[in-house]
Amino acid sequence: MKYDFAVIGAGPAGYVAAKKAAGAGLKTLLVEKKKLGGVCLNEGCVPSKTLLQAAKTYHHAKHGSVFGVSVEGLTFDFSKAHSHKNGVMNKMRDGIAGLMKKYKIDVIDGAAVLKPNRKIEVNGEEHEADNILICTGSSPAVPPIPGIDQEHVVDSTGILNRETLPNRLIVVGGGVIGCEFACMYASVDVPVTVLEAMPEICPNLDVEVAATLRKELAKKGVDFQLGCKVEEIGSSQVKYHDGTESKEIEGDLVLVATGRRPNVTNIGLEELGLEFSPRGIKVDERGATNLPGVWAAGDVTGQAWLAHAASRMGEVIVNNITGRSDQMRYDAMPAVVYTSPEVAVVGLTKEEAEERGIKTRSGRIPMAINARYIAENPDEAGLCKVVLEDGTNRLLGVHMVGGACSEMIFGATAMIEAELREEEIEEIVFPHPTTSEIVKDVFMAVR
């Protein structure tokens, strides 16, 4: 069948782009070999954040005495938490299916293979489209560690399917995924050790923000071993080298969270002459590949690795196809670490800006100067940092750790997107008392 727009992959890039294209009047095909929603809904952000919320609820109940809340006989039922997680996922999948039906999008279950002349083969049938969007997502990276193929060694997908708590969890990798799972398990009283090769966790974050997060997670019982290399995974222990000597740590569950890799194999890219590498499909700021009419978005491009970034990529591509000039602006792309406390960032760090030759001014304040924050998070450290362009006072970056800062970062994103200056932000009225006031008050430290 002939389509105006065909999409391979029904994750956040795919189903958003399909809906937008169909809404613009394009006859649209959506192909998915697993489940609607992609990795984010079925194997990533949605299920993991649902379980994180369950763990946070237990942790808050256990430590509620400062608020005058005491609980006797407190327990954590991991299987019920998983049932809730599954219910959330099912509801969201049903919602996506409803959207596809509403917009009259043809949805095919199956593995797609790209063919020359903008054709796609699915389940033995061939389809043609004027424009094709590739958004096949990513999979957990598998490092070459001896013993990694054992049953008690899981990746970020496998750990979400376990309905019993381990006696001790070892996490290989102190990035965002590793820290989120470490927080979740430690919050429900499971001893957790994180083995990280770098000198600090979450190396893409502002250094001070990352250090604050590590210290707060350590309060929950997470043991961080930094600057170490995992040498071997045994039946009940992990052997690693800390830079001085080899050591072993016992654990009955090992999570390998060492990043993800784009899904670029077995979809016909080589035969097409599409420009790609193991790091992803090469695209420009519009999402266009080197082949006319072939586009790519989301994790498969190796850029951003965020569900909301993937959705925005899909929107940019459809806008360009339908005649509206648009492009990605990654400096205004927010990112969140859903630990407790949360981390939320957008824009450049001071170091990143100065690497680009931009002169900066910066400032920081502790979250503890905010009344709402200390009322709700009395035992938690946090901070907010801003980076400004020296001379113009244009906002370049906001970096926060503490509380539920994920719910505030969109405001900072809008400020950066609009290229607001400090003087203009000063004129914005923030409701009081809210933790969001920290975004306005932090400029006192700059002045």
**Contact predicate 332/347, CB 8 Å:** yes
374 in any annotated domain: yes
Distance, in Å, from the CA atom of 281 to the CA atom of 274, rounded to the nearest integer, reads 8
Distance, in Å, from the CA atom of 186 to the CA atom of 192, rounded to the nearest integer, reads 6
C-alpha distance across the termini of the chain, in Å:
62
Averaged pLDDT of the chain: 95
Here the contacts of 125-129 (C-beta below 8 Å, separation 24 or greater) are 127/1, 127/2, 127/3, 127/6, 127/29, 128/1, 128/2, 128/3, 129/2, 129/3, 129/4, 129/5, 129/6, 129/29, 129/293
319 in any annotated domain: yes
Kindly list the distances between the CA atom of residue 297 and the CA atoms of 9, 300, 316, 402, in Å, as whole numbers in the listed order. 10, 7, 9, 31
Strand 395-401 relative to strand 343-347: parallel, antiparallel, unpaired?
antiparallel
Q: Among 258, 275, 303, where does a domain finish?
A: 258
Residues 253 and 268 in one domain: no
Q: What is the pLDDT of residue 95?
A: 96
**Contact predicate 48/337, CB 8 Å:** no
125 in any annotated domain: yes
Query: What average pLDDT score do residues 262-280 get?
Result: 92
The domain in which residue 125 lies consists of 2-140+261-330
Q: What is the pLDDT of residue 440?
A: 92
Q: How far is CA 352 from the centre of its chain?
A: 20
Q: What is the pLDDT of residue 447?
A: 77
Residues 398 and 417 in one domain: yes
Q: What is the pLDDT of residue 43?
A: 86
Residues 320 and 369 in one domain: no
Q: What is the pLDDT of residue 223?
A: 97
147 in any annotated domain: no
Question: Which pLDDT tens digit goes with each residue over 394-443?
Answer: 999 999 999 889 999 999 999 999 999 999 999 999 999 999 999 999 99
**Contact predicate 217/339, CB 8 Å:** yes
Report angle CA 19, 22, 26 to the nearest 5 degrees.
Answer: 150
Distance, in Å, from the CA atom of 294 to the CA atom of 130, rounded to the nearest integer, reads 9
131 in any annotated domain: yes
Q: Among 239, 258, 277, where does a domain finish?
A: 258
Closest CA to 51 of 195, 190, 193, 159: 159
Query: What average pLDDT score do residues 348-367 get?
Result: 96
Total tally of structural domains belonging to the chain? 3
Residues 135 and 273 in one domain: yes
The domain spanning residue 369 has which CATH number?
3.30.390.30
**Contact predicate 262/282, CB 8 Å:** no
Here the contacts of 107-110 (C-beta below 8 Å, separation 24 or greater) are 107/10, 107/30, 107/31, 107/32, 107/36, 108/29, 108/30, 108/31, 108/32, 109/32, 109/33, 110/31, 110/33
* Structural tokens at position 89: 């996922």
* Structural tokens at position 409: 């970062």
Q: Among 258, 277, 308, where does a domain finish?
A: 258
Query: What average pLDDT score do residues 279-302 get?
Result: 97
Query: What average pLDDT score do residues 104-112 get?
Result: 96
Residues 89 and 206 in one domain: no
Q: What is the pLDDT of residue 394?
A: 97
Task: Give the percent of the chain with pLDDT over 90.
Answer: 94
Residues 13 and 131 in one domain: yes
27 in any annotated domain: yes
Q: What is the pLDDT of residue 271?
A: 87
**Structural element, H or E, at residue 232:** strand 229-233
Residues 357 and 283 in one domain: no
Distance, in Å, from the CA atom of 40 to the CA atom of 137, rounded to the nearest integer, reads 9
Q: What is the pLDDT of residue 39?
A: 87
41 pLDDT band, cuts 50/70/90, is confident
The phi, psi pair for 392, rounded to 5°, reads: -90, -20
446 pLDDT band, cuts 50/70/90, is confident
Distance, in Å, from the CA atom of 67 to the CA atom of 242, rounded to the nearest integer, reads 41
The domain spanning residue 230 has which CATH number?
3.50.50.60
Residues 124 and 161 in one domain: no
Residue 432 bears catalytic tag = yes
Q: Which residues pair with 120 in a beta bridge?
A: 114, 127
Residues 12 and 71 in one domain: yes
Residues 159 and 186 in one domain: yes
Starting at the edge strand found earlier in the chain, the sheet holding 153-154 runs 153-154, 253-256, 169-172, 192-196, 222-226
Residues 315 and 186 in one domain: no
146 in any annotated domain: no
Residues 282 and 349 in one domain: no
145 in any annotated domain: no
Distance, in Å, from the CA atom of 260 to the CA atom of 298, rounded to the nearest integer, reads 12
Indicate the burial class of 237 (C-beta count within 10 angstroms; 0-12, 13-18, 19 or more): middle
Within 282-381, strands assigned E span 294-296, 335-337, 343-347, 360-366
445 pLDDT band, cuts 50/70/90, is confident
* Structural tokens at position 374: 């200390």
Total Cβ atoms within 10 A of residue 19 = 21
Q: What is the pLDDT of residue 348?
A: 97
Task: Give the percent of the chain with pLDDT over 70.
Answer: 100
Is pLDDT above 90 for 198?
yes
